[in-house]
Amino acid sequence: MKPVLFTQIEGNSGAYWSLLGWLSAFAAAGFGAMWYMEHNGHWVTGMNNQVVWGTPHVFAVFLIVAASGALNVASISSVFGRTMYKPLARLSTLLALALLAGGLMVLLLDLGRPDRLIVAMTKYNFKSIFAWNIFLYTGFFVVVGIYMWMMMERRMNRYTKMAGIAAFIWRLALTTGTGSIFGFLVARQAYDAAIMAPMFIIMSFSFGLAFFLLVLMVSCNGTSRPLGDATLAKLKNLLGVFVAAVLYFVTVQHLTNLYAAEHHAVEAFILRDGGIYTAVFWIGQIAIGGLAPLALLYHPSTGKDRSMIALAAGMVIVGGLAQIYVIIIGGQAFPLSIFPGYEVSSSFFDGVVASYSPSLPEIVLGLSGIATTLLIVAVALRALPFLPASLADADVDPHYVAPPEPEVIEEDASEGDEAGEVA
């Protein structure tokens, strides 16, 4: 395989600067939303004593899960030695860091006492998965940062594989930790399942790759870099596999729950009676996030169409947000089962499905996380050579066979000797 040339993007066009402007505005709006929520207190949001984690957490968990998945492409190249993924590895590590930064920003800005971040970083209760996550998240920055450095500094290239393995293991621990946030909760019918941790891992594969695919297509398109069909085909097929795997895990989770009479009520809620949550589950998570992308990615006619691939990736992202919405908010809306066998009523909303509707500050805060991620990527692409100069098949595909050169038909045979030029 030819050595890959990495270059910075020019970043001089009006389009680029206006992109930066919009992203900065959205990111800043997030801080404005946080100020509004913190200054007035959380009563101005849709979150309440029944649904304590809302839209910001949906976005934050999505971004954090996608972050570890975005590293997959780099891991495939470094850990599993697939050469065609090597040109993509730098962008993959960048995206992983940017996604995690965006997700953490949203999470921290929603705290009731964000001024106590220092307390959170110095006092630890190590029985709490949250405390472990603080180390896993900050450590991710360090480990992936070193991995990125090994890749980008020629003298350190011989350590890339080692750093890649370390990063791979770290991100598995990180995603397991994120899934365990919910898996470790005995209190709620929708959680307390060991499957949540591996399910989050497979979700990270899917969401992270979808995000990576979109960023890759947009940045190559926007900077006129050739993106070959071979690379794209590999990525889209991989995305299809991950989407199918997520559907498998979701099926197993719900089938298992349906088997236990104890969980029938919550399953009926999610799958049939939950109103908005049922709609988001079937339409958002399963149809838009699972079945439709699978069809688009694997159908022979749409599978080769770039805009269809991009659409599929976008749908996976929407479906991912829907899935996390059902998990986090649907899981909280379903009432706690404190008195099994009784109909319950109280002044504190016992026994009833909790009401929650996303409020504007929450949505703005969530979107600002995505904006921050994209802003980091956009700035970094200009600052350092993350993007390969070309991903054309001829340059990156080791099995590339040049198409046969077309035969040249000489027009005037009588003048052939003098001209002496053959195309």
Partner 1 sequence: MSTSKTFDVARRRLLSGAAAVAGMAIAPGVTLIAPADARQAGEAASDKVRWGLLIDANKCDAGCDDCVVACRTENGWQGHERPTTDPQWIRKVNLKDNKTGATLSLPVMCQHCENPPCVDVCPTGASMRRADGIVLVDRHTCIGCRYCMMACPYKARSFVHEDTSGQKPHMPRGKGTVESCTLCAHRIDVGGTPACVEACGQKAGKEAMMFGDLNDPDSAISKELGKRATTRLRADLGLEPGVHYRGL
Q: Which stretch binds partner 1 (CB under 8 A): 73-81, 115-123, 171-179, 239-247?
A: 115-123
Residue 260 touching partner 1 (CB under 8 A): no
The least distance separating partner 1 from the CB of residue 353, rounded to whole angstroms, comes to: 13
Distance CA 393, CA 232 (A): 10
Residue 353 touching partner 1 (CB under 8 A): no
* Segment (H or E) for 6: strand 6-7
* Segment (H or E) for 97: helix 89-109
The least distance separating partner 1 from the CB of residue 185, rounded to whole angstroms, comes to: 5
Size of the chain in residues = 423
Contact 344, 335 (CB under 8 A): yes
The least distance separating partner 1 from the CB of residue 112, rounded to whole angstroms, comes to: 2
Distance CA 64, CA 107 (A): 10
Q: Write out the DSSP string of 8-64.
A: -----SHHHHHHHHHHHHHHHHHHHHHHHHHHH-GGGSS--SSS-S-HHHHHHHHHH
Residue 125 or 301 having the CB closest to partner 1: 125
# chain residues binding partner 1, by CB under 8 A: 50
Residue 225 touching partner 1 (CB under 8 A): no
Q: Tokens for 180?
A: 């365990």
The least distance separating partner 1 from the CB of residue 45, rounded to whole angstroms, comes to: 8
User: 132 to 151, contacts with partner 1 by CB under 8 A?
Assistant: 133-134
The least distance separating partner 1 from the CB of residue 51, rounded to whole angstroms, comes to: 9
Q: Write out the DSSP string of 118-184.
A: HHHHH---TTSHHHHHHHHHHHHHHHHHHHHHHHHSGGGGGGHHHHHHHHHHHHHHHHHHHHHHHHT
Among 139, 304, 355, 415, binds partner 1 (CB under 8 A): 355
Residue 119 touching partner 1 (CB under 8 A): yes
Query: Looking up tokens 């439709």, which residue turns up?
Result: 292
Residue 12 or 43 having the CB closest to partner 1: 43
Contact 227, 394 (CB under 8 A): no
Show the binding pattern over residues 152-191: x = contacts partner 1 (CB under 8 A), - = does not: -----------------------------x--xxxxx---
Residue 343 touching partner 1 (CB under 8 A): yes
Residue 193 touching partner 1 (CB under 8 A): no
Residue 178 identity: T
Query: Looking up tokens 């649907």, which residue turns up?
Result: 330
> Which residues lie near partner 1 (CB under 8 A)?
38, 40-43, 48-50, 52-53, 111-114, 116-117, 119-120, 123-125, 127-131, 133-134, 181, 184-188, 332, 336-339, 341-350, 355
